[in-house]
């Protein structure tokens, strides 16, 4: 028996374990295998292979039984996930149903999840703006959180590194608030977007309208063809999975790349219960995994462990990793684990109309839109609230169909729609302040279907967010008026936190082990062979979409970890 156990242990031992195969886990896997490490990638959901497992990707609109509309029983059974803009008849298979993974809402929180190989990288919105030093120095300047242990210069080469491989479309705009990257051909503007850009540039010296940077192959290079990916075809049904690999996902890019090394073992249906800490060795030795089908627990061992389970589930795993050395969760000497969670405030929007450029229109579709980088409180504190917001912006024309009448007349007008005027719209992406009172914790009694404690979530807006919403509405109204837009309407949809799908923090980085969980290498201060490089590691949220930053952190952190391991430091 003893021999058998030793064999089993050897069989389950790898050089590295990556927990999660989403946007950051895919990168961890790619970088670890590229350095020759035998890497086990654990994914709690099912396998989703590129192309083969995108069942709706080539379905025409008329091929959907309900033309895209959700069934009532699906909506009734899933009040949370049904709120997500990307959840419809063509994408149901990629989202976690409400009943599949219950959690406790101490305060209302819409937790949007994708449990499968590739995670949410399959359905993400693909916006990839770099963060700037205004983001990394923000907490120290404004005193609302601990100082980031890194600066933009630490991350800049890693941004370049991941951008080149992932393929990012964008324009070099030369803005300090939104640094340029390694860009493929930018997307085109339409006439009214250009008009808005010019009006804003002439009226505000510090406000810029740029084309969004997005993970789309507008002009693929050899490195993208080598991944089996091809030029984006502008179908704009990305969330169903793309057979061209036109946008970046783990499934189309990092996971097959890691597989090609022969060093990766991908194990879907593997729910990580906790990380094993060995008190004698003073480090983590592996993870406990519950097979999603058999519910049996197995242990896997490795020298390095990367936790990329997505922000809140990474918190859950660390909180559930209890030992006598760490009774309050792995590496939680500071007591900050699960706390200082923040997100992006997407509540407000604005719309309007424009009477100019009526002789021009657009042709084709664009999976991207212009972007207004943060302009509030950038160089100094100048408003009654902390931090600021970025904004999406878009203009378009659509055909207007006269639906009056009945019979042949109606048919005639349906088939001869008139081109409507230009409509314009914007939405905010506000930075929220990480607070101790915005936290996640293990519920003391409720368990999930695998016997793991349910996550209790207590995250809410505060007065700073309300002020920011008001300011966004005022400033955007002024900017829309300056551009000659009319019929301006404001929106505050009062959505719950979570629906932004940008939850971050709980395992924050920092210089001081007394007030943070991770050091500047995304390494647990107290457990040197455990790294967290997903959204959980964020000290503050900035106003930019975070995925590109998780990719850069993952690549940078693996580079450090493998070098440190070879030197015997971890």
**Residues near another protein, by CB under 8 A:** 51-67, 69-73, 187-191, 193-194, 225, 228-230, 233-235, 243-244, 358-366, 401, 403, 406-408, 410-411, 414-415, 419
**Smallest gap, in angstroms, from Cβ of residue 408 to another protein?**
6
Residue 554 — φ and ψ, nearest 5°? Answer: -60, -50
Of 156 and 237, CB closest to another protein: 237
Q: Which is nearer to another protein, 409 or 478 (CB)?
A: 409
Task: Compute the least distance from the CB of residue 75 to another protein, in Å.
Answer: 8
Tokens of 351: 């719309």
Closer CB to another protein, 219 or 454, in the complex? 219
Q: Is 157 exposed, middle or buried (0-12, 13-18, 19+ CB in 10 A)?
A: exposed
- In sequence order, the 6+-apart residues with CB closer than 8 A to the CB of 106 are 456, 457, 458
C-alpha pair distances (Å), 415 with each of 400, 407, 408: 11, 13, 11
CB of 348 to another protein, least distance (A): 26
Q: Which is nearer to another protein, 1 or 415 (CB)?
A: 415
Closer CB to another protein, residue 69 or residue 437? 69
Question: Measured from the CB of residue 56, what is the shortest distance to another protein in angstroms?
Answer: 8
- Closer Cβ to another protein, 187 or 528, answer by number: 187
* Residue 521 burial (CB count, 10 A): 22
Residue 191 Cβ vs another protein, minimum distance, rounded to whole Å: 5
Q: Which is nearer to another protein, 228 or 453 (CB)?
A: 228
- Cβ contacts of residue 385 below 8 Å, gap of 6+? 377, 464, 467, 468, 471
**What are the distances in angstroms from CA 91 to CA 49, 81, 547?**
15, 11, 21
Q: Is 201 or 414 the residue whose CB approaches another protein more closely? A: 414
Shortest distance, position 63 Cβ to another protein, whole Å: 4
What is the rounded CA–CA span in Å between residue 424 and residue 357?
13
Min dist CB 95 to another protein, Å, is: 18
**Comparison of 66 and 295: residue with beta carbon closer to another protein:** 66
Query: Mind giving me the DSSP string for 226-262?
Result: HTT---------GGG--TT--B--IIIIIHHHHHHTT
Least separation in angstroms between residue 65's CB and another protein is 6
Rg of the chain taking only CA atoms, in angstroms: 24
Q: Which helix (H) or strand (E) is 278 found in, with range?
A: strand 270-278
Q: How far is the CB of 292 from another protein (least distance, A)?
A: 21
Distances (CA, A) of 206 to 291, 378, 389, 430, 545: 54, 10, 14, 18, 21
Concatenating the DSSP letter of every residue in 329-348 gives STT-SSS-TTEEEE-EE--E
Whose tokens are 């920092």? That residue is: 510
């Amino acid at each position: 028996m003893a021999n058998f156990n030793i064999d089993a242990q050897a069989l389950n031992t790898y050089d590295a374990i990556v927990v999660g195969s989403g946007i950051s886990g895919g990168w961890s896997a790619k970088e670890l295998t590229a350095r020759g490490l035998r890497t086990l990638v654990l994914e709690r959901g099912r396998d989703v292979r590129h192309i083969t497992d995108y069942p709706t990707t080539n379905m025409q609109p008329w091929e959907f039984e309900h033309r895209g509309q959700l069934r009532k029983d699906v909506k009734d059974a899933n009040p949370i996930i049904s709120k997500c803009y990307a959840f419809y008849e063509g994408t149901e298979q990629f989202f976690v149903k409400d009943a599949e993974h219950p959690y406790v809402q101490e305060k209302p929180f819409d937790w949007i999840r994708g449990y499968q190989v590739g995670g949410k990288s399959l359905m993400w919105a693909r916006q990839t703006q770099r963060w700037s030093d205004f983001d990394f120095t923000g907490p120290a300047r404004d005193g609302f959180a601990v100082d980031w242990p890194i600066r933009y210069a630490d991350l800049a080469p890693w941004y370049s590194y991941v951008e080149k491989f992932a393929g990012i479309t964008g324009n070099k705009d030369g803005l300090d608030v939104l640094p340029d990257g390694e860009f493929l051909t930018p997307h085109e503007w339409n006439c009214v977007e250009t008009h808005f850009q010019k009006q804003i540039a002439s009226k505000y010296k510090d406000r810029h309208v740029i084309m969004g940077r997005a993970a789309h192959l507008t002009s693929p290079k050899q490195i993208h063809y080598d991944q089996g990916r091809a030029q984006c075809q502008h179908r704009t049904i990305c969330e169903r999975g793309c057979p061209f690999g036109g946008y970046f996902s783990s499934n189309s890019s990092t996971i097959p790349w890691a597989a090609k090394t022969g060093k990766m073992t991908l194990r879907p249906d593997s729910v990580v219960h906790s990380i094993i800490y060995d008190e004698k060795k003073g480090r983590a030795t592996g993870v406990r995994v519950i097979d999603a089908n058999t519910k049996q627990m197995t242990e896997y061992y490795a020298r390095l462990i990367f936790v990329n389970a997505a922000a809140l589930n990474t918190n859950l795993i660390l909180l559930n990793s209890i030992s006598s050395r760490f009774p309050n969760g792995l590496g939680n000497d500071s007591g900050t684990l699960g706390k200082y969670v923040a997100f992006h405030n997407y509540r407000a929007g604005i719309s309007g109309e424009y009477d100019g450029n009526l002789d021009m229109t657009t042709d084709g579709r664009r999976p991207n839109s212009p972007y207004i980088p943060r302009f509030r409180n950038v160089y100094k504190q100048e408003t009654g609230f902390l931090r600021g917001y970025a904004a999406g912006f878009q203009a378009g024309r659509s055909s207007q169909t006269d639906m009056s009448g009945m019979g042949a007349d109606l048919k005639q007008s349906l088939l001869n729609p008139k081109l409507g005027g230009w409509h314009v719209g914007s939405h905010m992406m506000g930075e929220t302040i990480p607070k101790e009172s915005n936290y996640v914790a293990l519920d003391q009694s409720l368990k999930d279907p695998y016997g793991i404690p349910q996550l209790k979530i207590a995250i809410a807006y505060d007065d700073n967010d309300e002020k920011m919403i008001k300011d966004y509405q005022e400033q955007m109204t002024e900017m829309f008026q300056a551009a000659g837009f009319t019929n301006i309407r404001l929106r505050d949809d009062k959505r719950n936190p979570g629906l932004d799908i940008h939850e971050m923090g709980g395992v924050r980085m920092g210089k001081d082990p007394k007030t943070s969980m991770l050091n500047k290498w995304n390494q647990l201060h107290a457990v040197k062979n455990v790294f967290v490089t997903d959204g959980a590691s964020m000290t503050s949220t900035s106003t930019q979409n975070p995925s590109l930053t998780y990719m850069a952190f993952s690549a940078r952190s693996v580079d450090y970890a493998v070098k440190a391991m070879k030197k015997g430091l971890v």
